[in-house]
Structure 1
């Protein structure tokens, strides 16, 4: 047993950043962050995800040193940093508005954090050159921010956060001002830079797709509490509760009541009288109200059914052609916004509005969650 314990400790590296019992309130009554316990591993890309007001940005600002916890403790390595000023934390920061100095050139913006830290002139020149190459902006040294596109300004802001080789990089919705195509491109650029450098990144966003694309792990916040923290695949396929299911990606939710339970499968009675077999999530026992969750891409027409699949009758309300796939909005078991998403290649023809179809829902893709 002692050997197994030592092996487990060796396999789990010590946390680079730790929040323990952290609370934050501005008025002494309403907690923006509630008893937060969170470990961030060295070298990982972790995203704090949640709606506006969920506490994710406040956590980032406390880690950066721009806010002070009301209670609890924040550690960076072995050091408690609750009262440590921002400039002594060796943390790089990228803001949503980039916060570049408009009267300085790109080179001068990058030189500034190095000059403050008393690097020699030769070291500064070498680090600036390396940082610009990293973000593919060699040759832009003498331009001012106003002479750059939004994507180029974002790259300069990232280079400035990385130029002094911090132990931690914090990013507060840095892609929010970019158009869709550039935003998606920069998501991959930042991910590749992280993989190359191996520095710990903490990223804040309310964009679920962005979090799924970039992160090693995602912490989903709501009302100042982490609802679930896990790798993107688990968050999407096995949400811990109804909030996570609805907030991460698209989701269908059918109201029902749990009838019985056998192992990890529950029988759910739907409003139309149908009973379906569903994987047990966080829902209670027999008699409990539940929301049955399933992703639109997991819904199939009955002709593709497997032996254990549930069958439900649906009425097509609307179909939307999207090139490579079709979205069908249907009425199913009292729900008027049940969505099916299927590739064009799997449809002989697209069902018309008003048409009745039978759907196949696999128990392993259905999840019973507390209502």
Structure 2
């Protein structure tokens, strides 16, 4: 007997329009496994938050179906979906204490008082805020409010938690701390989390997989490492992390590599990120940390230093390479050379496998 395995969450042929003309989400097909941390990543207006709202039940699909554990979800009202939700603005009740905020989801589910008190205590311990039960939201810092919002989403033990840019209002240091805390909670509790953000580094830090959105369409779904190292197109390459771009024409193809003639007639080798033919225009994607300065490798150009930006453990070197004056190299402090100053011309190179030939921008 064959056992059929179904995805935990399944968007099937989902479309969404608000005005009957323009599709905000276009034929979305996406599967999420149980216990996975999936991030929906994309610029503003790309459709990622709309997908989360469709799953939460705050919006209805124009077309298509949503399944949770192979059961239709899109027909259920939000309060019957049993999904935890964390918002960017925390959405805590200002007139309730921390303990009352945490107790609220349990009260509406008619849990007895003794069990509510126990679960509130456990939830406060989970987010390390045991001593703040009697405070009101206005008496908490942003980070503390976010922890309480997270605890409230988890207190009724949902198997699915949705997070809509929950760290956007926090400062950089606190945001990075909360990223790790949420990641650790995910591993500890084993819940399925679908997380929306436009912050690339946040997505790379926290996710098992990332779905990159643009104009209502998922461009690529993959692990953080594969998205960064093997983008499927130029949009993904430029949206995930920092990226240098050089345009050229494919003049030769061998196995999974191609030779590209650049604007100054120099030729370089790159691995092919997409299928290509001789004569195709391509955009080369080269990450700043893969750029090698002052040492000629098999792909060697010259660049003029425009600017040096000191960042403690490394230096960002902005160069003009073939009329591209935003070409960046990320160099460890130990590799810096004393004569490097603005106006100095130096070799700029990289290994062939560190350049990816993609569609032109």
Q: Identify the TM-score tier after normalising by the shorter chain.
A: over 0.9
Q: Which residue of 1 aligns with 2:183?
A: 191
* Runs of 4+ more than 3 Å apart: none
Deviates more, 1:152-161 or 1:317-326: 317-326
SS in 1 for 2:348: strand
2:74 to 66, 71, 82: 82
Give yes or no for the alignment of 1:165 onto 2:157: yes
- Counterparts of 2:325 and 2:279, CA distance in 1: 24
Distance 1:161 1:350, change over 3 A: farther
- Counterparts of 2:293 and 2:147, CA distance in 1: 46
Tell me by how many angstroms 1:350 deviates: 5.4
1:346 to 311, 332, 335: 335
2:347 to 331, 352, 358: 358
Q: Please, which runs of 5 or more residues in structure 1 have no aligned partner? A: none
Write out aligned runs for 1:83-102 (5 A). Answer: 83-102=75-94
Tell me by how many angstroms 1:284 deviates: 2.7
Q: Which residue of 1 aligns with 2:103?
A: 111
Tell me by how many angstroms 1:316 deviates: 1.0
- Counterparts of 1:263 and 1:349, CA distance in 2: 41
Tell me by how many angstroms 1:360 deviates: 2.0
SS in 1 for 2:195: strand
Distance 1:100 1:355, change over 3 A: same
TM-score, reference length from structure 2: 0.97
SS in 1 for 2:276: coil
SS in 1 for 2:132: coil
Equivalent residues of 1:283, 1:290 under 8 A apart: no
Equivalent residues of 2:6, 2:70 under 8 A apart: no
Equivalent residues of 2:127, 2:148 under 8 A apart: yes
Tell me by how many angstroms 1:302 deviates: 4.1
Tell me by how many angstroms 1:78 deviates: 2.0
Aligned residues: CA RMSD:
1.4
Equivalent residues of 1:271, 1:334 under 8 A apart: no
Q: Please, which runs of 5 or more residues in structure 2 have no aligned partner? A: none
Say how many residue pairs are matched. 360
1:48 to 40, 50, 57: 40
- Counterparts of 1:349 and 1:231, CA distance in 2: 39
Equivalent residues of 1:47, 1:204 under 8 A apart: yes
SS in 2 for 1:29: coil
Q: Which residue of 1 aligns with 2:222?
A: 230
Q: Which residue of 2 aligns with 1:278?
A: 270
Tell me by how many angstroms 1:311 deviates: 0.9
SS in 2 for 1:15: coil
Tell me by how many angstroms 1:180 deviates: 0.6
TM-score, reference length from structure 1: 0.95
Q: Which residue of 1 aligns with 2:358?
A: 369
Q: Which residue of 1 aligns with 2:53?
A: 61
Q: Which residue of 1 aligns with 2:242?
A: 250
Q: Which residue of 1 aligns with 2:315?
A: 326
SS in 1 for 2:226: helix
Equivalent residues of 2:9, 2:69 under 8 A apart: yes
Q: Which residue of 1 aligns with 2:205?
A: 213
Tell me by how many angstroms 1:79 deviates: 1.1
- Counterparts of 1:331 and 1:346, CA distance in 2: 20
